[in-house]
Amino acid sequence: MLSISQIRTWLGALNEVYTKQKDYLTELDSAIGDADHGINMARGFAAVTEEIQKQNPQDISALMKLVAMTLIRTVGGASGPLYGTFFLRFSQAIDGKDSLNNGDVYHALDEGVKGIMQRGKAQVGDKTMIDAWAPAMKRLEELVSSDMPLSEIMSLVSKAAEEGMTGTIPLVARRGRASYLGERSKGHQDPGATSTLFMLQAAADTW
C-alpha cells in the first residue's frame, strides 16, 4: 500500500531531480521550444515543496490538489496547465483514500494522463509527453495485478516510458511550440517526454 508519506517523499524527489536536471531539460527545450521547460519544472516543484511544508495536508487527495494548484499558479508555458491537470485528476481519482493499492495507483495515474490528453489535445505520435505516458500506462496496466512490489512495477513502467521518450527523436512535432518547426523538429528529444520519464523514475525510487 502506498502511503501519504511515500507520496510526499516522491514529491520531494521530484523537486530534487528537476533542480538537478534543469539545465538538461532547458537545453532540450531550446532546440524545439521556448527554452524554459527545465526552469519551469524546477521552479514549480520548488514551490510545491514550500507549499507542502506550509500547509502540511493530511490526506493524499488534499496533497495532490495542493500540488496541482501550485503548479498551475507557478509554472509557465504548457507545463503548468498540463501537469496541474494531471495532479488534479489524480487527486479526484483517490478522494477519501488513506492509502493506495496498486489498482488505485493505476486508476489515479490513468485519470491524470487522460486529463493531460484532454487539456493538450495530444495523441501518441505527436511528439509530446504522451509519447512517454502512453507506453508507460500500457505497461502498468499489464503489471498492476501482479504480485510484484510497486517499486519494481514502476521500474518497468519507467523503462517503457524511456523507450517512448527515445521514440520522440525522429518524430515531427504536431502539438505545442515545437509544431511550428515542422520537419525541423525531427532529430530532437521531446522535453516533456523527458520530464515525464524523470517523474516515473522518481516514483520507482520512492514507492
User: How far is residue 65's CA from residue 99's CA, in Å, rounded to a whole number?
Assistant: 16
All structural domains of the chain, each given as residue ranges with its CATH number in brackets, are: 2-206 (1.25.40.340)
User: How far is residue 62's CA from residue 99's CA, in Å, rounded to a whole number?
Assistant: 13
pLDDT of residue 32: 81
Rg (alpha carbons) of the chain, rounded to whole number: 16
pLDDT of residue 182: 67
pLDDT along the chain (207 residues), means of 10: 97 98 95 88 97 96 98 87 97 96 97 96 93 98 95 98 97 71 79 97 97
pLDDT of residue 35: 84
pLDDT of residue 181: 62
Is 126:175 a contact under the CB 8 Å cutoff? Answer: yes
pLDDT of residue 24: 97
The burial of 51, by beta-carbon neighbours within 10 Å (0-12 exposed, 13-18 middle, 19 or more buried), is given as middle
| Digit-coded pLDDT (tens) for 154-172 | 999 999 999 999 999 998 8
Is 90:116 a contact under the CB 8 Å cutoff? Answer: no
pLDDT of residue 177: 63
